[in-house]
Amino acid sequence: MGKLIVVTGRGGSGKTAFAALATRFLPTPQLLIDADADQSLAAMLGINLEESGISTISDVLYDIQTSGGESANLGTMPLPQKIEYLLQMSCLYESNDFDLLSTGVKWTQGCYCFPNEILRGILPELAKGYVVTVVDAPGGLEHINRRIANEIDDLFVVMDPSSKALRNVERLKHISAEINITYKNIYLVANHRFSESRVEPLQQIKGTTYLGRIPADEQVEEYDWNNRSLRELPESSPALQAVGEILQQAGY
């Protein structure tokens, strides 16, 4: 399996924009997993999953539980094989540089304990075909509680200037240790709401490394508003340049 990167942060911090911009600099092929119920990653990459005929993972799990949709045509196929088949055939958006999976909004509804166990085995196997896997994770740390991935290389936390964001980092470290999630690095990234004079507290958090600040960039908002992929931003984009420098500091 290639490198596993998880991007997290509180809602509205800009973590999904960071994840989308990061794909410009990371090696290919990439597997992107949108684990946030907001499902914003595809949109920030200029992708309409519904128009592309792509299902979310939660849609597939729901169909399996209710014996509906495409799963009804798979008969008595064992559940692990059924989920793996539907993931590859129905849920994987494919492009030249990256492939994308979206968990979807029904992910937390009902009991998916057994399917989650299966997914923990399937997703690492799927990721073996990629140089890097990027998970756009919910701000509430649900991705850690689900334990779909428990060996993370680099954890990027996009921070907003609030005491809640600082507490979130400590909570993340606590939960990770409690349920045996391992990571090699926790990198902190300040969003555009930080002034340069206020980033010092981020440099003092033990067990983490502060890598830099992403400045305000009207082009990011413009591209997002017009459903254009952030990957298409010009090289002069301040946000794009900042993400490139941050990833370079992280060794990419």
Q: Across residues 42-69, what is the average pLDDT?
A: 83
Model confidence pLDDT, tens digit, residues 88-121: 888 899 999 999 988 876 544 455 555 556 667 7
Model confidence pLDDT, tens digit, residues 120-160: 777 777 888 899 999 998 765 555 555 566 788 999 999 99
Model confidence pLDDT, tens digit, residues 5-49: 999 988 888 999 999 999 999 999 999 998 877 788 999 999 998
Give the pLDDT band (50/70/90) at residue 72: low
pLDDT computed for residue 107 by the predictor:
46
**Highest averaged pLDDT of the listed ranges 54-68, 153-167, 187-201, 209-223:** 209-223
pLDDT computed for residue 75 by the predictor:
64
**Count of the separate structural domains present in the chain:** 1
Answering whether pTM is above 0.85, one says: yes
Q: Across residues 69-82, what is the average pLDDT?
A: 68
pLDDT computed for residue 181 by the predictor:
80
Model confidence pLDDT, tens digit, residues 156-176: 999 999 888 888 888 888 888
Provide the CATH number for the domain around residue 148.
3.40.50.300
pLDDT computed for residue 159 by the predictor:
92
Assess whether pLDDT exceeds 70 at residue 203: yes
pLDDT computed for residue 14 by the predictor:
92
Model confidence pLDDT, tens digit, residues 181-195: 888 999 999 999 998
pLDDT computed for residue 36 by the predictor:
78
pLDDT computed for residue 124 by the predictor:
78
pLDDT computed for residue 95 by the predictor:
92
Indicate the pairing of strand 98-102 with strand 30-34: parallel
pLDDT computed for residue 174 by the predictor:
83
Lowest pLDDT segment from 50-54, 57-61, 137-141: 137-141
Query: Domain limits at 203?
Result: 3-249
